[in-house]
Structure 1
Amino acid sequence: MILLKTFKIAARALRRNTLRTLLTMLGIIFGVGAVIAMVSLGNGARAQLEASISALGQNVVTVFSGAMSRGGFRGGFGSAGTLTVEDYEAIRREVPGVNGASPEVRNFAQLAAGNQNINSEIRGVGAEYLDIRSWPCSLGENFIESDVRNGHKVALIGKTTAEILFADEEPVGQIVRVKNAPFRIVGLLASKGSDMWGRDQDDVLLVPYTSAMRRLTGDTTFRSLMLQAASAQILTTLTNQVTDLLRQRHRIMGGREDDFTVRTQQETLELFDAQARTTRELLFYVALISLIVGGIGVMNIMLVSVTERTREIGVRLAVGARSRDILLQFLTEAVTLSIAGGALGIFFGVACSRLVTKQLGWATLTSAGSIILAFGVSAGIGIFFGFYPSLKASRLDPIDALRYE
């Protein structure tokens, strides 16, 4: 009851100069808003990354052309042509525990059907690619191993590409031309949505990798190989076996660096998360500086308030108020000021997160934990930066305070 009355007195004191109170809260509003927005962006990015990694399939190991340093990407990563058809066949033949495997060749090209055209990604893959990625066809069916072996001109079309080229028509059985080569669509892929970089995975045309290499790209090597392990327990063993086999085939001796990179889904997630951590830390320090500035503003305004209300403090002490009552009153005012700023900052941060999602399409995820943290930080700022002015007020001599003009 006493605490509630103290809060009411504090709120009344802050309302005496509304403009000054609002200006004092600005630093806390921006600081807390930045914390909320930062955590929301970080949570959203990680959730989207996990979803994208999961969308690759279960127990997937990816072998990339080119080397990658432990801390990040190298210039040749994923682009240097070091993986061959013979490497792919050797892995299928000699590495136990591989349930499925598919090469991957990527390029962009103009697709045409009737009087419609679109620039889309062409992906040359194997017959097991859809099984590895858990990516079914919503219409039609996947191409088969004989299509790959013979380089047949068949294709699977993504939902976005199909809608642009064929509108409301059923795409299965239609012909799409790629670099003047006619490909017959045998299946419509189920929608996958955006990947971790925000790219539309449904804007794609999948063709047998043999057809892509012979007729579309002219490549003789692969960008990557996707392997599916029989179980999660053998992922490490399978990774080591693939590495040893490729080092042997590529004649990489002793301590020489690999010209390929083998990554599990968990390793890929950890890599991207480590790269995003630097950005999160930068945003955290920006928010921290803003909160400190806001806290200093609270301390300054409370010192001004103590000076302006010196006679009031003297009267209260003279009629029996204890020093700890004065301390509690001014500390409550500081905490109320900070919590109010924190509440406005939470709304500001959530609004910014939603605006980013709407305008930029970035995933954001505001958690209850971040809101509780924001309230806790706000209260902590009020206590820390409001303690000295409150202590100063509680130590005033009543006689000197009553004489103050």
Structure 2
Amino acid sequence: MKNRVLLNAFRLAMTALGRNKTRSALTVLGILIGVSAVVTVTALATAASEKVGGQLDSFASNAIFISARPSQHGGQKRTNVRLTDNDVKSLDREAVSLAGVTSFSNTESQVVYADQNINTMIVGTTLPYFKVRKFQVARGSLWTESDELLKTKVCVVGQTVANKLFHGQDPVGRTIRIGRAPYTIAGLLAPKGNSAFGDDQDDRIMMPIGSYRARVSFSYGGKVDQILASASSEETTSRAISQITAILRARHRLPEGAEDDFKIASQDELKRMEGAIAAVLSLLLLGVAGVSLVVGGVGVMNIMLVSVSERTREIGIRMSIGARENDILTQFLVEAVVLSLIGGIAGIVLGMLAAFGLGYALDWRVVPSVPALVVALVTSGTIGICFGFLPARRAAKMDPIDALRTE
């Protein structure tokens, strides 16, 4: 019996909506916009999180970043503490939870080959850097340990640098000039694309750190810009950070209670920070989408109130031939829910099209979230029930005699 009542209510709702196609279309527009915004934001937020997470994973293996902490002097930040090669050696020797540790310094410099002249990032580092940062060699080879000891004028180049200087030709074995010194290219690195920080990881040249200090950016005392370590696993990252802290504090002779003169950031912290930023942005955008849904719900309620007023005589006739309050209530409530569900389904389709389009433009992998789609659909139906109840109740509570007198 209940199924028959619902079926009849659905049939009457579709008939009523069909009589006022334009008004029905305008009514569902608010729901459509709100649902499509929710679906688009949810899909893109998930895709962005996966994209950044993948970039961080490709950046390094369980990475831990160590840099000098600037100190305040007269209102100005100065970095008096220096991280050095000896710090790296101590960490490599004593920190048992590290799978690898390396250091690097970098600067921008002019690079010349034949008539080509570019500015790019020059990185001075050691061989473990390539393992920690997951750099692979596409052609040629890396330099050797003896090259590091002898400060040999040898380097490896990224794909972007090779394209700019050699236009598709094999760069291995060619000689380029960095600053005033000639360098032989030993290898070409496999492409890595942009990092999670937005920089082009292929637009760089890498060389032994001793050669870098001697010819590109003169320095003494084994100073490095940053130390990059890799924990043996995700589970040992916290233990590795504790070991790094203890070793560096001992090496820098920091008294108990004194603030660390270095900063440590882990890959997990960067992921958490990225997740927090993405969550805040998603909440803001979902808030805007929620306002759109409420506005759409108010539109449904207003249109249903107008529909009740226009169909007062019809309501009176139905009541006079035996329709009960629940029948009238169900009829108009189903009509409001149908309007909202049509808007919800159309919003899901539009939202997914928008998400796929933006994902293609941004080169993000967009995968539909089934729970999010279900929630969007249920939300639209709930809006129909909540905002359609008042007009439906008003129709159900009409006096049939007064309703029949209405012209």
Q: TM-score, normalised by structure 2?
A: 0.88
Q: What secondary structure, in the 3-state scheme, does the structure 2 residue paired with 1:142 have?
A: coil
The correspondence of residues 2-401 of structure 1 with structure 2, limited to 5 A, is 2=4, 3-66=6-69, 82-218=82-218, 221-359=223-361, 364-401=366-403
Deviation at 1:365, TM superposition (A): 4.5
Q: Deviations over 1:303-349 (max 9, x none)?
A: 11111111111111112222222222211111111122122222332
Confirm or deny: 8 A CA contact 2:51 2:364 kept in the other structure: no
CA RMSD of aligned residues (A): 2.7
Distance 1:363 1:145 in 2: 40
Farther off after superposition, 311-320 or 150-159 = 150-159
Distance 1:133 1:18, change over 3 A: same
Q: In 1, distance between residues paired with 2:264 and 2:354? A: 39
Between 1:204-213 and 1:35-44, the stretch displaced more is 204-213
Aligned to 1:99, what secondary structure does the other structure show? Answer: strand
Change (3 A) 1:51 1:355: same
Larger CA deviation: 198-207 vs 234-243: 198-207
Q: Contact (CA 8 Å) 1:67, 1:258: kept in 2 or not?
A: no
Q: Distance in 2 between matches of 1:146 and 1:4?
A: 84
Task: Verify the 8 A CA contact 2:95 2:240 in the aligned structure 1.
Answer: yes
Q: TM-score of the superposition, structure 1-length normalised?
A: 0.89
1:404 alignment counterpart: 406
Structure 1: 5+ residue runs without aligned partners?
69-74
* Preserved CA contact (<8 Å) 1:124 1:209: yes
CA contact (8 A) 1:101 1:126 kept: no
CA positional deviation for 1:360: 5.0
Deviating beyond 6 angstroms after TM superposition, the runs of 4 or more aligned structure 1 residues are: none
Q: Which moved more, 1:372-381 or 1:256-265?
A: 256-265
CA distance in structure 1 between the aligned counterparts of 2:46 and 2:89, rounded to whole angstroms: 40
Secondary structure at the aligned position of 1:191 is classed as coil
> Whole-Å Cα distance in 2 between the matches of residues 349 and 259 of structure 1?
49
**Match of 1:262, SS?**
strand
Query: In the alignment, what sits opposite 1:72?
Result: none
Contact kept, 8 Å, 2:111 with 2:177, in 1: the verdict is yes
Identity of aligned residues (%): 38
- Alignment: residue pair count: 398
Q: SS in structure 2 opposite 1:22?
A: helix
In structure 2, the CA distance between the partners of 1:299 and 1:188, relative to structure 1 (3 Å rule), is same
Select the structure of larger CA radius of gyration: 2
Describe the shift of the 1:120–1:374 C-alpha distance in structure 2 as closer, same or farther (beyond 3 A): farther
2:18 and 2:110 map into 1 onto residues whose CA distance is 65
1:280-308, CA deviations, whole angstroms, 9 ceiling, x for partnerless residues? 22112111111111111111111111111
Q: Quick check: 386-395 or 89-98, which moved more?
A: 89-98
Residues 186 and 255 from structure 1, CA distance in 2 versus in 1: closer, same or farther, beyond 3 angstroms?
same
- 1:265-293 per-residue CA deviation (whole Å, 9 max, x = no partner) reads 22221122123322222112111111111
Which residue number in structure 2 is paired with residue 71 of structure 1?
A: none
CA contact (8 A) 1:43 1:366 kept: no
- Greater Cα shift, 380-389 or 344-353: 344-353
